[in-house]
Chain A
């Protein structure tokens, strides 16, 4: 039996080069999605077999360079330096070769062999560009594989190139970019000083170059390792050459220029017309907003005309049907078991199942908008407003999704490029009123406020958003030092969506949600059922009620009885549950009778307090799990919960006291 070779490949590339399409083609559904250890950045890896070898591919985050300006760049270069893959495949977009080759220039200064996958040859051709990959190959000294991944072209050649390079590394002779003449001496000086102290496996010349560029991470690394006097010397040199980072970048672009001039036979003419024409509307400060409003309107209309009925169907046939079936099957079992299965398990699982249509529609839309290239325009148009809250323009879309449901909103924060932006936005999503919360509003307000109900309801929505804006500024200041990351965003060319990519995206995201969320939601739902049923089987005397009574003093500050506190607690499973719990606690057999009972046991001020707390309260368990999933951090998730508890009770008490005085 022959030993199977393992080849380790790292897939690198700038954003918008079709890297994920290439990755999907190579790995298909064998891919596994997780997070890079300790970071909120997505990590994808997969495998394929070819010619007796098992090839393991890691998809590095898309970055424009390898300087420590963002977590993604550090992840990418650390992986190459520490994990030492056998090959780095650098995907470039043939129609923006000049800019894409910058990353290749950076990659070539590391020791790992590089293969350039020149993707989107079709787009380049359409734009009138004529490129000669073999000339580029000769100029660079590395294999260059032309591809059009969306049409499945070039994949075989890429696989062969990887195979060939790893079999016979001897013929690999890359032409590495050299630093510009005027900085050569300084670089050598640095190298002489620090060479001996560079830790394995970092290459000494690369570290010196990064020091010259003023790379934060490398600076810190070397500061720890260098003796005092050498560090002083290095520091002096760097201070004298503070502009070196621009010079180094220029040098790389000079090198890139020479390479592209050799390989580009005829520069394109007017290839951007379609994008330009569309952008005249899409990025205009006024029309762009209208375009965005139109698109969002479309998404929501689709969700509610297609998604809601599907949800209804699922509820009737799967959840209720399943419940009845289980009830019948267990009719001879003890009552508690039957209740556990029907109310606890199926009730909880049912909730997860009813999420399916909504999630799929949202994922599909986010995926489509991103793939087509519109997402960047939406971010551009909204940045004016978002930046007042310390957020990036791209945060708008996930936050807006929160109006439908907080779960896809949290999952949608992935479109934000910076880790910091993602975290901040995720913290703020629960403050966006979702439809479930609006349902509670819609039920309560008419009971207590009569004709003023819509006004009260909209004011409460406005209050939530105000709290969101203020919280954004606050959290940004406290947790992130108040500074906003610079707004620099590429607007990629529009192009036809790749349905396969979108399909795989929807599949992966939905699967991830169900695996993680499904189990937790189920467990929480069963636990809550247990708390409400034990020890006597009556909710009035259950543990849950005990907790409610314990919280009664706090509740009285807001005019809430222990029953209202219990209702709040049950809203943890699903926001609509608070209505159902109140029904049970007040002995109301239907919503109608509850509607009559409530005004008798609560003052309008108390109702207002209750609604305020409900709106700002911790989100449903599905959202909490999604937050945990996305942030990969218990710390941030707990912070979010504590923060929301404080805010909701704080504002709730304030509102009640004021309302009680006024009324």
Chain B
């Protein structure tokens, strides 16, 4: 079981202000940090802010481990995610990326009911997507 304790924020260092997030993992009873994010180096002072305990669900763990990424169609209404890529033909990829679905873009699920098309928000635009099309888009929460 992994417990997310909190995020560590760095004070500005000689190299400039940097921020990265560290998750403390409970591994066989003791706590160990595992770092995700970028590292800039340079001396810095760390302060730990405990934000709470959150149990991470299986999809998040799988995503972290890179086993598979979430499909856009699996997001529930209100959830946000970052776009990772497509598993689609050239035409679809071209149309979607022109509309703002590019790797790294923030995607918010607005409506996802039943088996019909769903509505997402990308770069301040509300876009309706067919379910088949949404299944070909990979995101990470």
Q: Are B113 and A284 in contact (CB under 8 A)?
A: yes
Residues of B within 8 A of A636 (CB): none
Tally of B interface residues using CB under 8 Å: 35
Does chain B have a CB within 8 A of A250? Answer: yes
In the complex, the chain A residue whose C-beta lies closest to that of B116 is: A384
Q: A655 to nearest B CB, angstroms?
A: 35
Total A-B contacts with CB atoms under 8 angstroms apart: 111
In the complex, the chain B residue whose C-beta lies closest to that of A272 is: B126
Q: A286 to nearest B CB, angstroms?
A: 9
In the complex, the chain B residue whose C-beta lies closest to that of A384 is: B116
Residues of A within 8 A of B96 (CB): 488
Does chain A have a CB within 8 A of B81? Answer: no
Residues of B within 8 A of A102 (CB): 98, 100
Q: B39 to nearest A CB, angstroms?
A: 22
> A250 contacts which of B97, B114, B133 (Cβ < 8 Å)?
B97
List A276-334 residues whose CB lies under 8 Å from chain B: 276, 279, 283-285
Q: Are A283 and B94 in contact (CB under 8 A)?
A: no
List A85-102 residues whose CB lies under 8 Å from chain B: 95-96, 98-99, 102
Whole-angstrom distance between the alpha carbons of A380 and B110 in the complex? 14
Assuming A384-B115, A491-B128, what are 6 further A-B pairs, CB within 8 angstroms? A99-B123, A99-B124, A246-B85, A250-B97, A253-B105, A487-B129
> B94 contacts which of A96, A99, A214 (Cβ < 8 Å)?
A214
List B101-119 residues whose CB lies under 8 Å from chain A: 102-105, 110-111, 113-117, 119
Interface residues as binary, A463-497 with B (CB distance below 8 Å gives 1, 0 otherwise):
00000000000000000000000111111100000
Residues of B within 8 A of A96 (CB): 123-125
Does chain B have a CB within 8 A of A188? Answer: no
Residues of B within 8 A of A272 (CB): 126
Q: B129 to nearest A CB, angstroms?
A: 6
Whole-angstrom distance between the alpha carbons of A486 and B116 in the complex? 13
Tell me the dominant secondary structure on chain B's binding face: mixed
Residues of A within 8 A of B94 (CB): 67, 69, 213-214, 245, 249
A interface residues with partner B (beta carbon < 8 Å): 64-65, 67, 69, 95-96, 98-99, 102, 213-214, 242-243, 245-246, 249-250, 253, 272, 275-276, 279, 283-285, 376, 380, 383-384, 387, 393, 486-492
Whole-angstrom distance between the alpha carbons of A96 and B126 in the complex? 11
Q: Are B95 and A488 in contact (CB under 8 A)?
A: yes
Residues of A within 8 A of B105 (CB): 253
Q: B76 to nearest A CB, angstroms?
A: 16
Does chain A have a CB within 8 A of B29? Answer: no
Interface residues as binary, B83-102 with A (CB distance below 8 Å gives 1, 0 otherwise):
00110001111111111101
Q: Are B103 and A383 in contact (CB under 8 A)?
A: no
Q: Are A491 and B126 in contact (CB under 8 A)?
A: yes
Residues of B within 8 A of A69 (CB): 91, 94-95, 98
Residues of B within 8 A of A243 (CB): 93
Residues of A within 8 A of B100 (CB): 98-99, 102, 253
Whole-angstrom distance between the alpha carbons of A245 and B99 in the complex? 13
List B44-71 residues whose CB lies under 8 Å from chain A: none
Q: Are B99 and A64 in contact (CB under 8 A)?
A: yes
Does chain A have a CB within 8 A of B16? Answer: no
Q: Are B123 and A65 in contact (CB under 8 A)?
A: no
Q: Are B127 and A489 in contact (CB under 8 A)?
A: yes
20 inter-chain pairs at a CB distance below 8 angstroms, sorted by A residue, are: A99-B124, A242-B90, A246-B85, A246-B93, A246-B97, A246-B102, A249-B94, A249-B97, A250-B103, A253-B100, A284-B111, A383-B117, A384-B115, A384-B117, A486-B95, A488-B128, A488-B129, A491-B119, A491-B127, A492-B126
Q: Are B126 and A285 in contact (CB under 8 A)?
A: no
Q: A278 to nearest B CB, angstroms?
A: 12
Q: Are B119 and A283 in contact (CB under 8 A)?
A: yes
Residues of A within 8 A of B98 (CB): 64-65, 67, 69, 102, 249
In the complex, the chain B residue whose C-beta lies closest to that of A69 is: B95
